[in-house]
Amino acid sequence: MADEIVAVLGTGTMGLPMAANLRRAGFAVRAWNRTPAKAEPLADLGAEVFDSPERAVAGADFVLTMLADGPAVDAVREAVLGSGAVWIQAGTVGVEWTARFAEAAERAGVPFVDAPVLGTKQPAEQGKLVVLAAGPDELREKCAPLFDAVGARTTWVGPAGAASRLKLVANAWVVALTNATAESVALAETLGVDPRLFLDAISGGALDVPYAHLKGGAMIARDFPPSFATRHAAKDARLVLEAAGDDLDLAGTRAALAHLEAAVKAGHGDDDMAALYYGLR
């Protein structure tokens, strides 16, 4: 494994620590990022940084894409497929883009793993993500060292597409929890109740969830260092609604999306998704 080469395309909040952990685990890492400065810290770990995706993927055994959305991944698709490396698609791009990438990979004869992750900046730094993996069974063993380097566990869920569907299910939960937390915090403030009393009241009981304290604490402090950007949470809420189609009434996701979009419009797109709070105001 130590000699295997991983090209990492996208070294943002998640891609950078994932690439660093791959390097620490002994992989040779070749990195590319649209804004080159964000990839530069990897050079200190012995990774090579390239100025184009084509150069980064040359000779790689794996290509890990950790880019913002479907169009960003699509922009590097030809480079990835041209490399012939196993394509690990880890960014959250939803059902339709994943199907397109899986089909393109199949046509090109390139092994493809749909591998979105659960967890945010800190778990990514700690190598404690949960990898949701979907793809051919014969790739499991080959991918295991890579996934072990970035994650605490890997859940294989079936053919490509299945992991992205599970990811959307989980992210519907994430945006719902954040929205519910924002509503209770904002309601407390409006009623003249200290919102910390709300967090204390639910603490340790059946109503408690760590996310309420994490995101609620940020809302109360009005401090939103980005862990998961508001604009990406809005993108994911849109992907959830698109995937759900017209026959399912996801009113909670729609409400969360409205708040997220209002927060983005108010200039909080790059803040942590807890800034959804501003969408209520």
Ligand X SMILES: NC(=O)c1ccc[n+]([C@@H]2O[C@H](COP(=O)([O-])OP(=O)(O)OC[C@H]3O[C@@H](n4cnc5c(N)ncnc54)[C@H](OP(=O)(O)O)[C@@H]3O)[C@@H](O)[C@H]2O)c1
**H-helix or E-strand spanning residue 64:** strand 62-65
Please state the closest distance from residue 152 (CB atom) to ligand X, in A.
Answer: 14
Q: Which of 110, 229, 240, 276 binds ligand X (CB under 6 A)?
A: 229
Closest CB 163 distance from ligand X, rounded Å: 12
What is the CB neighbour count within 10 angstroms for residue 222?
10
Binding of ligand X at residue 182 (CB under 6 A)?
no
State the Cα–Cα distance between residues 185 and 176, nearest whole angstrom.
14
What is the number of other CB atoms lying within 10 angstroms of the CB of residue 275? 29
Can you tell me which of 23, 29, 33, 259 binds ligand X, judged by CB under 6 A? 33
Position among 65, 83, 184, 227 found at the interface with ligand X (CB under 6 A): 227
The answer to whether residues 65 and 45 touch, using CB atoms and an 8 Å cutoff, is no
Residue 11 within binding range of ligand X, rule CB under 6 A: yes
By CB under 6 A, is residue 117 in contact with ligand X? yes
224 binds ligand X (CB under 6 A): no
CA-based Rg of the chain, rounded to a whole angstrom?
Answer: 19
Options 167, 215, 235, 265, the catalytic residue: 167
Q: Rounded to whole angstroms, what are the CA distances from 99 to 96, 160, 194, 238, 267?
A: 5, 8, 47, 17, 33
Q: What does the alpha-carbon distance between residue 189 and residue 143 come to, in Å, rounded to a whole number? A: 48
| Annotated catalytic residue 265 | no
Reduced to 3 states (helix: H, G, I; strand: E, B; else coil), residue 65 is strand
Q: Which is nearer to ligand X, 102 or 188 (CB)?
A: 102
107: Cα separation from own chain's centroid? 26
21/231 Cα distance (integer angstroms): 26
Min dist CB 204 to ligand X, Å, is 26
Position 166 contacts ligand X (CB under 6 A): no
User: Residue with the closest Cβ to ligand X?
Assistant: 12
The answer to the question of residue 230 lying near ligand X (CB under 6 A) is no
H-run or E-run covering 6? strand 5-9
Q: Which residue has the tokens 């490399």?
A: 83
- Site track 231-260 with ligand X (rule: CB under 6 A), x = hit: -x---x------------------------
Of the candidate residues 89, 98, 120, 154, the single one contacting ligand X (CB under 6 A): 120
The reply to whether 164 sits near ligand X by the rule CB under 6 A is no
| Residues involved in catalysis | 167
Tell me which residues touch ligand X (CB under 6 A).
10-15, 33-35, 38, 66-69, 72, 75, 91-92, 117, 120-121, 227-229, 232, 236
